[in-house]
Amino acid sequence: MKKVIFVCTGNTCRSPMAEAVAKKLWEGKAEVISRGLGAGGMGITKYAADVLAENGFDAGEHISASLTAEEVAAADLVLTMTESHKRVISDALPQFAYKVHTLCEYAGKDGDIPDPYMMGKQEYEACFEKIYGCIKAIDIQE
């Protein structure tokens, strides 16, 4: 089974939404976790949890955590929300750069996943739609 890590900045909005979507859509095909580049100890934001629930997904008792080199080493695939997240990880761990991609790039789509943090519910809904579309487009193989 593939080990996939979704990465954003604080691990409170985008990557936990991606984790929840992928856990359901890729059930039985991938072990999925989410992490942040500067995260630690916070829950998922209210709008992120609300938008997930309204679309039939559950983030559970998510607590934000920072990405570690050991997790990157153990992963088969690291999917970031932006090109800058990808660069930070690839620069810090060049030996693992081959497994680090943006979510959009890996799904064959353009752009980044915009950060809805501290914005309104509409931005979270748009963020969810983009994440969902990307994950649905990926044919994950065991």
Does residue 8 carry a catalytic annotation?
yes
More confident residue, 9 or 120: 9
Instruction: Report d(CA 132, CA 11) in Å as an integer.
Output: 17
Helices (H) and strands (E) in the chain, counts: 6, 4
Mean pLDDT, residues 67-74: 98
Catalytically annotated residue among 13, 14, 35, 127:
14
**pTM here?**
0.96
| Mean pLDDT, all residues of the chain | 95
- Report whether CATH 1.10.150.130 matches the domain 2-137: no
Question: CA–CA distance from 56 to each of 36, 63, 105, 108, 142 (Å)?
Answer: 24, 20, 25, 25, 24
What residues are paired with 4 via a beta bridge? 32, 77
Of 8, 13, 104, 134, catalytic: 8
CA distance 16 to 6: 8
- Residues forming beta bridges with residue 6, ordered by sequence position: 34, 79
pLDDT at 142 over 70: no
**Which position among 50, 76, 87, 115 bears the catalytic label?**
115
Question: Residue 36 corresponds to which tokens in the numbers above?
Answer: 């942040």
- Give catalytic status of residue 14 as yes or no: yes
State the average pLDDT over residues 89-109.
98
Q: Let me know: does 11 contact 34? Beta carbons within 8 Å.
A: yes
Residue 50 is a catalytic residue:
no
Take residue 112 and report the two structure tokens written for it. 């980044």
Mean pLDDT of 44-65: 95
| Tokens linked to 124 | 């979270």
